[in-house]
Copies of this chain bind each other. A is one copy, B any other.
Amino acid sequence: MAKGAGMIHPALATMLAVLTTDYPLAPGEAESFLRPAVESSFNRISVDGECSTNDAVVLLANGASGVRRDDEAFAGSLGEVCSTLARRIVEDGEGTTVLIEVKVTGAADDREAAAIARRVATSQLVKTAAFGRDPNWGRVLAAAGSAPLDGGFAELVPERVTLTFNGATVFAGAPIDAIPSLEGPLLALELDLGLGPGTASYLASDLTYDYVRINAEYTT
């Protein structure tokens, strides 16, 4: 079970998630399974880049199944459940009309890939373009090139970059005249930097009239 909607951003969100299992875990063991599952799911989503103090993910295990342990299978299932819930939180985000899947490959390393994915996923211009169903490769590249890293910016060499919108290549070292299909509720942005082995994924919502309405009309 998970609850989200607004103020969703890694590390500190208005998010509450409770996972229950009858898999046999000894006291204290849950954390070692939960942390990696959270890292690649709940910590890779952003609705509005906003933080909160109410962030919690809890894993409860009662061992009632009495099954023989297969930790690899359990870790895999736990990761799958976390990813599904994290995805649903973004789909259910305030005003969301499209789920943006940001996938960065070819970065210098995973940390650089994550910084770029996070910047693209939180860019107001990428998010309004997604709402407008516009394949605006310039906004994606501008966001990627402005990803903050170690007091400077992440590395990006335009000539090496490939960018696809829902599988259609719109940029490969230079703009390509393509017309991607963007009408549906999913926008897959795949950005390959052509520089190294670093990869990262991120899920984000678009920025819409309804997001503004919900958060401007709310009164304290």
A interface residues, Cβ below 8 angstroms from B: 6-7, 12, 48-53, 123-125, 128-129, 131-132, 134-138, 142-143, 145-146, 207-209, 211-213, 215-220
Contacts and interface: CB of A to CB of B under 8 A. Distances in A.
Contact of A142 (B52, B131, B134, B212): B52
Given A50-B123, A123-B50, A212-B128, A134 B220 contact: yes
B135 A216 contact: no
Contacts of A52: 142
What secondary structure prevails in chain A residues at the interface with B?
A: loop
Given A53-B145, A125-B215, A128-B212, 20 more contacts: A6-B125, A7-B142, A48-B124, A49-B123, A50-B124, A50-B125, A50-B142, A50-B146, A51-B145, A52-B142, A124-B215, A128-B216, A129-B218, A131-B216, A132-B215, A132-B216, A138-B220, A208-B212, A209-B209, A212-B212
Given A134-B220, A220-B135, A215 B128 contact: yes
27 contacts: A7-B125, A7-B142, A48-B124, A48-B125, A50-B123, A50-B124, A50-B125, A50-B143, A50-B146, A51-B142, A51-B146, A52-B142, A53-B142, A124-B207, A124-B215, A128-B215, A128-B216, A129-B215, A132-B215, A134-B216, A134-B218, A138-B220, A207-B212, A207-B216, A208-B212, A209-B209, A211-B212
